[in-house]
Every structure is written in structure tokens, then in C-alpha cells.
Structure 1
Amino acid sequence: MQRLVNFLILVFILSPFIAFAQQQPIRAIVSATNESPYAIFENRRLHSGIAKDILDTLAQRNFRHIEYLNLPRARVELWLESGQADIACFLNPDWVADPEQLGWSPVLFMTEQVFIRRSDSAPITRVTDLNEFRIGTVRGFSYPELEALFSSGQAVRDDAADLAANIERLREGRLDTVMSVDLHVDYFEVAKNNPDFVIDKMWADPAPTYCALSKHNSNNYYQLQQAFQELVNTGAVETILAGYSKRSSQ
């Protein structure tokens, strides 16, 4: 009996905080630099994509509204740490400056990094194959596996706004290779029926992908963490990903 009384007291104490969290919109950062199929923008507004599908599902299941923030990658961590935003997806602790300052969802899926090269060039199978290369990258994104190569000057990091711009520069011979991830390349079918390009998988192991969470409001943080765990456990994330996989439909 005493346990029941204690439980009811706890519910009474926490109920204002739970109600407050449910009333507040979830402020989610989805940047236009997160390319398709992660984020698909139309007329500068988030229209669809993996991020929107996952976060809309999370909000609906938890009876909350969601507010999307289109911020440059350089501001994401600051906004999460200061509590100006609640979520930013498709990150990894290795890709941020201070991962301990942020909370993390469960692993949502794994991604493989790849190199896109012209078909008349030599295969890229190890880091030394990139010596003296100009490598196409996306502005604002981290490439920890190649950081030593860039900082030593053995290769040149050459940023562009997105994958499409890098592919065009590769086609024109202004880059030696483009670094991307498997989901982007599969979605755009970069090498399918295109004899100009070849895809080489990177030698590194596939990287886990998470959503980073703000710890600024502890009640909100724990609620979102549990909500993400439910999405993973019920297979909702896997189902959403399958809808954007060109390979799954072939």
C-alpha cells in the first residue's frame, strides 16, 4: 500500500513537468546541408526526407508539435548546448567538438563512407592512394578519418555546398575524388548506368548514426531519449529507411 502511495505522490510531483514538456514544441535542427534523402527542401522549406519522417513520427507518438530549424552546421552544437534547440540528427560523437556536452539517441542506422572517382582513375583502397589528391567535401561537415591527411597537407579538402556540386566538379576534372556516404550515393544513383563514375568503399568500418539531444532541460532530454528508443525497438526507423533505399525497391 505504501508503494502505491509513494508512486501516486511521484506522479503528482512530476505531472506538471510532463505536461510542460508535452505542450512545448520539439525544436529540431534539420539543415539544408543534410542532403537528400536525409532532408528534402522545396522553396527553402523542409518538405520531406528521412529526418522529417523520423521526427514527425516521434512527435506524433508523443503528442507534441515539432518546429524545424534550418541552421548551418557550424551553429548546431552551440544551439543544442545552450538549449535553443532540442534535437539534431545524423550526427556521431566523433563528429562533434565536445560530445559529453550532448545527449545521444540510440543508434538509428549505420552508414558507410565512400569515394566517387572517374572510371579512368585508379581504385582508392587505402589512405596513401589519396596523396596529393583534391578531395570534394561538403562545407561544415567533419571527416575525422581524413583529418590527418588534410592537416598535413598531403591532400586538399575542397568544400562545396552539396554532393551535386561536387559531382559536377569531378566530372569537369577539378577534383580527383568526392567523399560521400552510401545512402546519398544510392539515392542519387550516382554510378548506376553511368560509365563515367565508380564507387570505392572506404576502408573504415561503417559508422553509427545518432541524433544529438540537448541536455539543457533534463526532463525533456530523458523523454526524447526514451521516445527514440521506442522508435528503434518497434522498427519504425528501419521502415522509414527502407522507403528511401533505391536498392530495397530493385
Structure 2
Amino acid sequence: MPKLLPALLLLTMSGASFASERALRFSINDSWAMPMVRIENGQAVEGILVDLHQRLAAKVGRQAEMLLMPRLRVQQALEAGEIDVRCYVSPNWVNSGHYRYIWSLPFMTQRDVLAGVTPERLQPEQLLNERLGTVLGFTYPRLQPLFASKQIQREDARTQHQVLLKLSARRYRYAISNELSLHWFNRQQAPEQKLHSLSEVAAEPIACIIRDAQDVPTMALLRAMVQMKQAGEFDAIVARYR
């Protein structure tokens, strides 16, 4: 028994060290909706991002703390070092560099589509004097010249789900949606009420940015993402919500 004491002491100390490591702080944009995230009482409770954050934190032996905040607050929190990991972001969406953060490999592609209430092949440039459903604060580089010239009028809603609800209610005839959200929305609709993808507007590489600091297992997180990509774990998470 005395010979076991050093080993038991080491295990106890390791367990205490593990328990003392704080949770990793992941940002959640409050304008996201299912299948990205479902928010209840100010908490992220399910969705692609919840699964991704929890899996990624578990890979490095941490808990995931998901911080819900407005999109503009996310930018401020990044600059202040208040977030450890921001996932589901494209380099094309970030206006300024974050020297304290390191980009992961892209783990998926987000496809934005022009959605409509009737099936037709149509490009945004063919629209004239139409109101187009968009998400408040989101940028659409391809469409910006059309908004600036007033060829199309932008009509914002707070979340992607609200944009699609207004389209379904015929508040306008066309909207921009990411493909995943459109598929999720249509799952809840009767066949005659389903919305239609008319054309692809943009395809963006999606990655995470991870804070490079001593209290964050930055390299371990980056390696975990490579392993998850190679093992098909990202595809499996997304497939659950298609």
C-alpha cells in the first residue's frame, strides 16, 4: 500500500489541476438561428455551433462556456481578449486583423443563396426595384453595388429565421439565406409552402479564430480541429441538422 501512495498523490494532483482549468469562452452571435444555434432564455441550448464548441473543448480537456452577444459586441470582445474562440467566421467577414488570434483551417463552406417563394432560375443582378430580405448587420459584398445604386432595397430582420419567416409570409418575394438555414426552415413547411433556392450568391470558407495566450491551449485546439476534419467529425455534426 505505501508504494501506491506516490501514484495516488500524483493522480489527485492531476485531477485538481484539471478541475482548476477554467472553461474556454466561445462567442455566440445572437442573430444566429437554427440549425446554427437555438437560444432559450439567453442560453445556447442546441445546434451546430453548440455541438462544435462542446466537442472542441472536450478534445482539449476543458468545458465550453458559450457567451451570447450581439455581432458588434463580438468584435469588441475579440479586441479586448474576452473571447478565447470564435467559430463560424470567414476571413472575408472580419474587417480588421486580430493579432492575438490564430486562424484554424477552414472546416466547411457556407453557401449563401437567393431564396424565393416560386421556383425560377434568377441572379440577384436581374432584380429591379425589389425589396430583398437580409440580416441586420450582415455584409453581402456581391450585392453592395446593387444596394448602393438602389436597384435593390435592403430590408433587414434581426435573425436569419426572421428573414425567412417574412419571405414565407410574402412580405417580399426574395431574400438572402445561407443554405443550411433554408434547408432547416423548409423542414418545418408543408410541401406547397417550401421556399426555393434560385441561385448561389456567395461561398465562403468557414473557420475558427483562437486566442493565442498562455491560458488558452491554442496549439492543442488547432491540432484538434485538424484531427476532427480528417476524421469527418465536422461533416457528421452538420449532417445531424440537414
Per the TM superposition, whether the score is higher than 0.5 is yes
1:236 aligns with 2:210: no
* Residue correspondences, number: 223
Q: Find 2:64's aligned residue among 59, 63, 66.
A: 66
State the percentage of identical aligned residues.
Answer: 26
**Could you list the per-position Cα deviations for residues 113-165 of structure 1 after superposition, in whole angstroms to 9, with x for gaps in the alignment?**
11121228x6422x421332211111222222212222333222211022332
Q: Find 1:226's aligned residue among 202, 223, 227.
A: 223
Where do residues 1-250 of structure 1 align in structure 2 (5 Å cutoff)?
A: 23-99=21-97, 101=99, 102-119=101-118, 123-125=121-123, 127-189=124-186, 193-195=191-193, 197-204=195-202, 206-215=203-212, 220-245=217-242
**Could you list the per-position Cα deviations for residues 206-239 of structure 1 after superposition, in whole angstroms to 9, with x for gaps in the alignment?**
3211122234559643332222222212221111
Partner SS for 1:166: helix
Displacement after TM superposition at 1:196 (Å): 6.5
Q: Which runs of 5+ in 2 are unaligned?
A: 1-16
Cα contact 1:112–1:201 (8 A) shared by 2: no
When residues 167 and 106 of structure 1 are mapped into structure 2, their CA distance, relative to the original with a 3 A threshold, is same
Give me the CA root mean square deviation.
Answer: 2.5
When residues 164 and 65 of structure 1 are mapped into structure 2, their CA distance, relative to the original with a 3 A threshold, is closer
TM-score (norm 1): 0.78
**Could you list the per-position Cα deviations for residues 50-80 of structure 1 after superposition, in whole angstroms to 9, with x for gaps in the alignment?**
1111111111121112211001111212212
Displacement after TM superposition at 1:84 (Å): 0.5
Amino acid at match of 1:72: P
Amino acid at match of 2:56: L
Cα contact 1:82–1:216 (8 A) shared by 2: no
C-alpha distance in 2, partners of 1:115/1:97?
24
C-alpha distance in 1, partners of 2:33/2:236?
20
Aligned to 2:12: none
When residues 184 and 168 of structure 1 are mapped into structure 2, their CA distance, relative to the original with a 3 A threshold, is closer
Displacement after TM superposition at 1:173 (Å): 4.0
**Could you list the per-position Cα deviations for residues 3-37 of structure 1 after superposition, in whole angstroms to 9, with x for gaps in the alignment?**
xxxxxxxxxxxxxxxx79x8132100012311101
Displacement after TM superposition at 1:94 (Å): 0.5
Displacement after TM superposition at 1:195 (Å): 4.8
* Structure with the higher fraction of residues in helix conformation: 1
C-alpha distance in 1, partners of 2:90/2:32?
14
C-alpha distance in 2, partners of 1:44/1:32?
9
Aligned to 1:11: none
Cα contact 1:32–1:39 (8 A) shared by 2: no
When residues 31 and 128 of structure 1 are mapped into structure 2, their CA distance, relative to the original with a 3 A threshold, is closer
C-alpha distance in 1, partners of 2:36/2:236?
14
Partner SS for 1:144: coil
C-alpha distance in 1, partners of 2:161/2:89?
21
Amino acid at match of 2:88: F
C-alpha distance in 2, partners of 1:31/1:203?
22
Cα contact 2:112–2:179 (8 A) shared by 1: yes
TM-score (norm 2): 0.81
When residues 165 and 96 of structure 1 are mapped into structure 2, their CA distance, relative to the original with a 3 A threshold, is same
